[in-house]
Amino acid sequence: MLALVWFAAFHVGFAERADQTIFLQFMDLQAHDRINSVAAHIVAPFNPNPYVYLALVPLGVSLLRRRPWSAVAIVGIILGANVTTELLKHVLTAPRPSSWPSGHTTAAMSLALASVLAAPARLRPAVAALGALLAIAVGYSVIARGMHYPSDVVGGFLVAGMWALLAVSALRASERWRPWAARAGAGPMSMRATLGAPGAILATAVLLAGIVVISRLHQAFTYARGHEAFVIAAAGIAALGVALSTALVLSVRR
pLDDT of residue 11: 87
pLDDT greater at residue 92 or residue 137:
137
Q: Provide mean pLDDT across the span 59-77.
A: 94
What is the tens place of the pLDDT at every residue in 10-24? 889 899 999 999 999
pLDDT of residue 96: 76
Q: How is residue 28 annotated by DSSP?
A: G
Count of domains observed in the chain: 1
- Whether cis (ω within 30° of 0) applies to the bond prior to 179 is no
pLDDT of residue 72: 94
Evaluate if residue 181 carries a pLDDT over 50.
no
Q: Rounded to an integer, what distance in angstroms lies between the CA atom of residue 221 and that of residue 103?
A: 33
Evaluate if residue 216 carries a pLDDT over 60.
no
Q: Rounded to an integer, what distance in angstroms lies between the CA atom of residue 6 and that of residue 153?
A: 11
pLDDT > 70 fraction of the chain, expressed in percent and rounded: 78
59, with CB counted inside 10 A (0-12, 13-18, 19+), is middle
Helix, strand, or coil here: 188? strand
What is the distance, to the nearest Å, from the Cα of residue 38 to the centroid of all Cα atoms in its chain?
A: 18
Q: Rounded to an integer, what distance in angstroms lies between the CA atom of residue 194 and that of residue 5?
A: 28
146 Ramachandran zone, left/alpha/beta (phi>0; psi -120 to 50): left
Which domain, by its residues, includes 38? 2-251
What is the tens place of the pLDDT at every residue in 21-64? 999 988 887 777 788 899 999 999 999 999 999 999 999 999 99
Q: To the nearest whole number, what is the mean pLDDT of the chain? A: 83
CATH code: domain of residue 68: 1.20.144
- Whether cis (ω within 30° of 0) applies to the bond prior to 58 is no
Question: For residue 253, what are the β-bridge partners?
Answer: 188
pLDDT of residue 182: 45
Evaluate if residue 183 carries a pLDDT over 50.
no
pLDDT of residue 35: 83
Q: Are 147 and 102 in contact (CB under 8 A)?
A: yes
pLDDT of residue 63: 95
Return the half-sphere exposure (C-beta side, CA atoms, 13 A cut-off) of residue 125: 17
Where residue 186 falls among pLDDT bands split at 50, 70, 90? very low
Q: Provide mean pLDDT across the span 234-253.
A: 88
Least reliable range by pLDDT among 23-37, 82-96, 128-142, 170-184: 170-184
pLDDT of residue 202: 60
What is the tens place of the pLDDT at every residue in 103-150? 999 999 999 999 999 999 888 888 998 899 999 999 999 999 999 999
